Amino acid sequence: MEMVKVTVDGQNVEVPKDSTILDAAKKVGINIPTLCYHEDLNVKAMCRLCVVEVVGARTLQAACSQPVSAGMKIITNSPAVRQARKMNLELLLSNHPDDCLNCVRNQRCELQSLADQLGIGEQRFGSLTKPNYPKDESTAALVRDPDKCILCRRCVEVCHEVQSVGAIAPANRGINTQILPAGGVDLGDVSCVQCGQCALVCPVGAIYEQDHTERVWSALADPEKHVVVQTAPAIRVSIGEEFGLEPGQVTTGKLVAALRRLGFDRVFDTDFTADLTIIEEGHELLERLSSGGTLPMITSCSPGWIKYIEHFYPEYLAHLSTCKSPQQMFGAVAKTYYAEKTGLDPKDIYVVSIMPCTAKKFECGRPEMDAAGYPDVDAALTTRELGKMLRQAGIDFKALPEEEYDDPFGITTGAGVIFGASGGVMEAALRTVYEVVTKETLPSLDFTAVRGIEGIKEAEVDLKGTKVKVAVANGLGNAKKMMDLIKEGKADYQFIEIMCCPGGCIGGGGQPIPTTNAIRQKRIDAIYQADAGLPLRKSHENPAVKTLYEEFLGQPLGEKSHHLLHTHYTKREKYPEATA
């Protein structure tokens, strides 16, 4: 790799030739302020907050986009640089609402943090062109607040380039520019899959999740309600970030303790129904393989992915597993089996989910998700919303003791835990399918070929002479590539796992901000650490799942299982992509 030498504020540094000034500054411990820049997205150089002086250049340069050259002398903190940065930020603030106390990103907003960093305590220019656009609350999962948009275009890139959805794009010109769906309609009127990746990269409060916290507080305060909570696999490796812990820490016991302090009647683990999903989905795969069913079979755990295929590839809905997601299976079992075991009326059981995903809010509102005659799940909170509730309650998360989940839905396996990472559903399924078919114990439980956040991964498993070829894709951009392979007849797989969000659920749209690829990888590592530390690592060995079948369900793919745990999907209209 060719290296070049440059000087940053008098410090000599050697960096790769293709580095930017921003890269060089970081190498010597200088953090240049940025706003439109995001380390996982393309450089836009629009906000101009990262400007620096380059000796010999006639104008200030944007550090995020300007490549270094041999002998370059860079000044990052001159009076001219400080004045320009402050002026650029003041102009942004002049077109931004000054109601920080009412903003979901208060004290967690990049614009607010930069104002503090640059010493801006008041809006010197007042309100020059203050917009007054209505909020868009048309979807079950997301809210758009155009007044707060700073036009950084991060959301546009992630929607088009990462997720291949194209629900939003810049419209109009000059001070009238907005980020909008095609035709200026609401988000609920287009093919938005409600994955929330836009909210995850937004630096301000222009896009955020529909708030379910008040409905949960109301349920907890209602003496007539028996309120149970389930926690998704990915939450245990991310909730700590809401309280200053480093990414990649497994905080399962503290998470359980925190939820008990909030007042939930029972604290359960979605990993239980992840194990249940594997039993149903694994048997569904074996049935399709033996009876000539529709192949490849594709997983159905990710609601953003389900909505994507409903809009963009509805002709392939038969390829989806009919299994509900673990979130919805849990609600169905809680309001039938659990109600029967505890003598509770299903109408009095209130099921809350703690999910890394905004699309789970959409999923729990789907009309077909009502196996007991009531919604399977009543409210879905993101990781961020749980953090908000714990702060409101004054709970010191880091000081909490380690506690255990409640039975019977707290008995889980490592296979359930790894659902939180891309490749985890596939690996969990292979652990069970291999042993069910071969009647032999797996020599190794770790199917490392399907792990990681890279594009599309493939593997082949020999089930005693029957070769099963599988593939894994995460992020809807990769899902599109996979579906196009199927369309072209080039996907010779029998089983495919697709997760809507980059990295899988650990990178969901409801996770703590920031969520970068580096942070995703730390959470993935923690997921597999949690799996390796459990005494049970195969779904079919979960004793509570076995009891559920013996006492209630009967058998996998049986009549009761079909009614409670399986569903159908809906062909939806595909709307025009939003373009600039």
Query: Nearest-CA neighbor of 404 among 254, 241, 273?
Result: 254
What separation in angstroms does the CA of 477 have from each of 139, 439, 454, 474?
22, 38, 12, 8
Cis bond upstream, residue 247 (ω within 30): no
Would you name the residues annotated as active-site residues? 281, 284, 301, 321, 360, 363, 368, 505
Residues 6+ apart with CB under 8 A from 72: 4, 6, 7, 21, 54, 55
| CA distance linking residue 567 with residue 284, whole number of Å | 13
Residue 450 in any domain: the answer is yes
Torsion angle in degrees (nearest 10) through CA of 253, 259, 263, 266: -70
Closest CA to 143 of 206, 216, 53, 235: 206
**Strand ranges (E), 204-321:** 207-209, 226-231, 266-269, 297-298
CATH of the domain at 43: 3.10.20.740
Residues 6+ apart with CB under 8 A from 147: 96, 97, 130, 131, 132, 133
Distance from the Cα of residue 510 to its chain's centroid:
5
From 70, 92, 114, give the residue that closes a domain: 92
Tokens matching residue 556: 């996998």
Query: What is the H or E stretch that residue 478 is in?
Result: helix 476-487
Q: Are residues 88 and 219 in the same domain?
A: no
pLDDT of residue 174: 86
Cβ atoms of residues 188 and 243 within 8 Å: no
Residue 234: closest CA among 179, 279, 271: 271
Q: Provide the number of structural domains found in the chain.
A: 2
Q: Answer yes or no: is 530 within a domain.
A: yes
Instruction: State yes or no: cis peptide before 514, omega within 30 of 0.
Output: yes
Task: Specify whether the CB–CB gap between 363 and 212 falls below 8 A.
Answer: no
Mean pLDDT per block of 10 residues along the chain (580 residues) reads 95 96 97 97 96 97 97 97 96 90 95 96 72 93 96 98 97 91 95 98 98 98 98 98 97 98 98 98 96 97 98 98 98 98 98 98 97 96 98 98 97 97 97 94 93 93 91 98 97 97 98 98 98 97 98 97 97 91
Choosing from 66, 92, 118, the residue where a domain stops is: 92
**Residue 418 domain-assigned (yes or no):** yes
| Rounded distance between C-alpha atoms, residue 159 and residue 166, angstroms | 5
Residue 113, in any domain of the structure: no
Structural domain includes residue 518 = yes
The predicted model scores a pTM of: 0.96
For residue 171, being part of any structural domain is answered with no
What CA–CA distance (Å, rounded) separates 303 from 142?
14
Q: Is the separation of the CB atoms in 507 and 501 below 8 Å?
A: yes
Q: Do residue 219 and residue 85 come from a single domain?
A: no
Residues in CB range of 173: below 8 A, 6 or more apart: none
Cβ atoms of residues 141 and 510 within 8 Å: no
- Any domain includes 10: yes
Q: Is residue 424 part of a domain?
A: yes
The neighbour count for residue 520, using CB atoms within 10 Å, is: 25
> Token pair of 90, please?
């003041």
Whether the CB-CB separation of 177 and 152 falls below 8 Å is answered with no
Q: Cβ(385)–Cβ(353) under 8 Å?
A: no
The CA distances from residue 292 to 285, 289, 352, 566, in Å, are 10, 6, 39, 20
Domain span at residue 349 reads: 213-565
Q: Print the SS3 string covering 299-333.
A: CCCCHHHHHHHHHHCHHHHHHECCECCHHHHHHHH
Name the token pair of 419: 């659902």
- Closest C-alpha to 323, from 218, 457, 429: 429
Among 59, 92, 125, the domain-final residue is: 92
**538/389 same-domain check:** yes
Count Cβ atoms below 10 Å from residue 72 Cβ, excluding itself.
20
Check which CATH number belongs to the domain holding 248 and give it. 3.40.50.1780
pLDDT at 455: 86
Q: How far apart are CA 402 and CA 522, in angstroms?
A: 22
- At residue 128, the pLDDT reads 60
